[in-house]
Structure 1
Amino acid sequence: MTALTEQFAQGNRFLGWRMVGVAFFVDFIAVGFFFYSYGVFFKAIAVEFGDSRLGVAVGITLTQGVGAILAPILGRALDRYPLKLIMAIGALSMGTGFLLLGVSSTALQFYLILSIFVGFGAGAMGQLATSKLVSNWFVLKRGMALGIAATGISLSGVIMPNISAALITNYGWREGFLFYGAVTIILVVPLVLKFVISKPEEIGQLPDGETEISRLPTPKPPLKTREFLTDRNFWMLVMVIGLLFCIQSGTLIHMVPQLTDRGYTLYSASFVASCTAGFGILGKLTFGSLVDRWDVRHALWLGIGSQVLGQLIMLLLPGYTPFLIGACFFGFGMGGVVPMQGAVVGAAFGRASFGRVLGAMRPPMAVIHLAGVPFAGWIYDTTGDYTAAFTTFIVLYLFAAGAVMGISVNTKANRVLN
């Protein structure tokens, strides 16, 4: 009997699912406190600083842009240093940023704080770090584990728009950011430092809770930068995920303003945003499981098809209820993108290079991704509505669906290599 088998026979519990729980909570904070809440804060910030919707939209673009620029550096750090250290520093930076946003006095200060503190913090503690953590602990069940962890993103979207609306209505947008900053520093930093373990081998365990290494796919060695940059899958994934993130961010950030423009209350609009995220939970669980069993291209096409159906309903059918139904279809398809991206990167490039590869993808993806939010804001400022923006998004889906054809990765649990 091997040492690992003896450990498990003595009741040594596999800690991978605890890492999934930590990733769930961190994703909830990192994404929900900013990305899902920013659309609710949108109009209040614009009124405060007398800015156009394009100007306010640039704020989130700057934040994501800084994260994209830093991603290759952060990716290398995540592969090299303890994950708890990087994630804790990121949480401290994000929490500090929220606190400073609450006392900012000019638009310039607001955007600088977003870019420097929140941009770095979100990159260091958010999806790049949590995907690396979960992928280190799972190989055979990687898609499912990533899907469960990523439901923290969608659950935050269910809860946080309504909380943000209540904070703004009853206290003000500044007080909302002060609250988020305090919660991030007080809760996230200690939790990460206490519970995060970078990989199972550090405590004598194996991925997926296996007790025999022979039952796992042969691990890939660390890749050189040139090796993954010349891999077609790298660039096809950049194109597909970049386009989908572009469309999704532009849709989500402008969803609440679009509904309030039609005369619905902030609470009613926030409810639609919450339902979108709620169906995102279902999407993450569904697609995370499917990608462990299906050809990943089929899963991606299903997700794109659901989003297109939702966009068409929101664009073409009048009324609150059709918009809500369309948002749910959109949210379901959107939910699967994050776990599918992580599963493909892990299967194609291996655990040892996961952080570097995912980090290297961010800058070229950002060139596509970051155009979505300001583009929709510019269309509104120019035309007075969002029709042209969302029509363009539907066309971009077709390009994304075509690019999926170029992806050739086996993410199934019975594959030979991980």
Structure 2
Amino acid sequence: MAEQKKIFHGWWIVLVAFLSVAITYGTKGVFGVVQLQMLDDLHWTRASIAGAMSANMLVYAVAAPFVGRFMDKIGIRTVLIAGALLTGISFLLVTTVTQTWQFYLYYGVLLGLANTGMGMIPGPTAVNRWFVKKRGRALSIALVASPGGMAVFTFLAKDLLKTIGWQGMFMVMGIASLVVVIIPAYFLMRSSPEEMGLLPDGDSQPAAAVNTGTPAPVAANEMEWTLTKLFTSPMAWCLFFAYFIMGGNGWAQQVHQVPHLIKMGLSKDAATVALGMNMVLAVLSMLIWPTISDFMKRSTAVVISLSIQAIGTVLLLNATDITMTYAFVFIMGISHYGSYGLFSAFAADTFGRKSLGTVSGAMAMVGAAGAAIGIYAGGAIYDATGSYQLLWQLAIAGLLIGVAVVLILGQMKSRQEVAAKLNA
């Protein structure tokens, strides 16, 4: 009887990444629900609560590139366990807060730092190292945990807040971070298949090329990328600009689309339902786009996705009735969220597997900066002009420029691969 083929360990890596992303973004997404009970109990201002979230994002943005670089040096498992441990401790400390400075310290600073060791840096980095030919498909499974985690924790909060309160909810999130992430990470996480004597995708021999249009890593593609090299690379700046615009527009829409739609004449209920439908479509987007990119050039998939997002933003700009609104919701919802997996895979294709922690950390910083600027710009533009029209016009222009720079990056990458083959 033939020996049963074992499951490729890379799929266990996907499981660990899924769990870490689910906990990170599930707990972050439920904050909007939990804060309401905190406001009632502690009698703080909304600005003080929002300020802690802003501090969290700022600390994350500053720390991300350095944590990513550190991860390349000491390994993904160590960083992931440390991130989960600090996340759990931060949530447990939040249960004791009575003053706003404590909340800023525990939720803003400690949790902001902890999130760099969880979520979108270690998990996707590990998946990108374990897969090449099936990179998009593996990432789609890992990253769908983001909207999935938000849905699960929001559902839990609905009932748990009534019985155990906000302190109990933070305690649940802390324990979940410690148990759900640390134990699987300790036993299953490895930084690369080479650590276990394996090859990416479970292949028995190195692949010279991938017939899906996504080439396997070549020698020139496996150079070590320090932060200095990365931030002086034209290829990196093309990638960063497109990622910055994509993230900034997405977050700007998440925060400002409801008031924009109300300003355009929709009811509050209709505008809110439209936002909720975006989150439902996010799950499909996360599954579809990274998977599709395994069967074409990754740069082509990114260009198509950004182009569709530009069309969706045009629809939002002109959404004066429910038909136009739902057309926007469908097109933007099905195209935006999956772009995070697309860009993660595209970065791995472009810069190789060796320094992926450094690359992922830098991208996380750029994405957080885009989110912060997009959210702030929306408020500032509305205050100055009385509408969001200019915001969406700038976003459309940025997305189209992003399409152009991705095409340029694709050309630079193709020339690099040809040169590498000639020198081999």
TM tier relative to shorter chain? 0.7 to 0.9
* Aligned counterparts, 1:233-244, within 5 A: 233-244=235-246
Any idea what the Cα deviations from partners look like across 1:144-166, whole Å, max 9, x if unmatched?
Answer: 22122111113224444444455
Does 2:62 correspond to 1:69? yes
Does 2:30 correspond to 1:13? no
Counterpart residue type for residue 21 of structure 1: L
CA distance in 1, matches of 2:317, 2:170: 32
Aligned residue for 1:183?
A: 176
Sequence identity percentage = 25
Counterpart residue type for residue 223 of structure 1: E
Does 2:367 correspond to 1:373? no
Report if aligned partners of 1:343, 1:411 keep a CA contact under 8 Å in 2: no
CA distance in 2, matches of 1:282, 1:290: 12
1:126 aligned counterpart, secondary structure? coil
Q: Across the two proteins, how many residue pairs are aligned to each other? A: 403
TM-score of the pair, normalised by structure 2: 0.80
1:193 aligned counterpart, secondary structure? helix
Counterpart residue type for residue 23 of structure 1: A
Q: Which of 142, 147, 150 is matched with 1:154 structurally?
A: 147
Counterpart residue type for residue 66 of structure 2: I
Please say which of residues 382-391 and 141-150 is displaced more in the overlay: 382-391
2:46 aligned counterpart, secondary structure? coil
CA distance in 2, matches of 1:170, 1:386: 40
CA distance in 2, matches of 1:386, 1:229: 32
TM-score of the pair, normalised by structure 1: 0.81
Q: Which of 6, 18, 27 is matched with 1:33 structurally?
A: 27
Pick closer, same or farther for the CA change 1:390–1:40 going to 2, 3 Å.
Answer: farther
CA distance in 1, matches of 2:412, 2:288: 18
* Aligned counterparts, 1:150-229, within 5 A: 150-165=143-158, 167=160, 173-213=166-206, 217=216, 218-219=218-219, 220-225=221-226, 226-229=228-231
Any idea what the Cα deviations from partners look like across 1:273-317, whole Å, max 9, x if unmatched?
Answer: 553233222222222123223333432232223334444445543
* Aligned counterparts, 1:95-114, within 5 A: 95-114=88-107
Aligned residue for 1:23?
A: 17
Report if aligned partners of 2:16, 2:181 keep a CA contact under 8 Å in 1: no
Pick closer, same or farther for the CA change 1:31–1:142 going to 2, 3 Å.
Answer: same
* Aligned counterparts, 1:267-346, within 5 A: 269=272, 273-314=275-316, 316-317=318-319, 323=325, 326-346=328-348
CA distance in 1, matches of 2:383, 2:98: 24
Pick closer, same or farther for the CA change 1:246–1:111 going to 2, 3 Å.
Answer: farther
Please say which of residues 95-104 and 180-189 is displaced more in the overlay: 95-104
Any idea what the Cα deviations from partners look like across 1:32-80, whole Å, max 9, x if unmatched?
Answer: 210x33444566667742234xx65544332222122212221122212
Does 2:46 correspond to 1:51? yes
Q: CA deviation at 1:251?
A: 2.5
Q: CA deviation at 1:121?
A: 1.5
Provide structure 2 residue ranges, at least 5 long, that are not aligned to the other structure: 210-215
Q: CA deviation at 1:200?
A: 1.4
CA distance in 2, matches of 1:169, 1:254: 29
CA distance in 2, matches of 1:206, 1:320: 51
Counterpart residue type for residue 198 of structure 2: Q
Provide structure 1 residue ranges, at least 5 long, that are not aligned to the other structure: 1-7
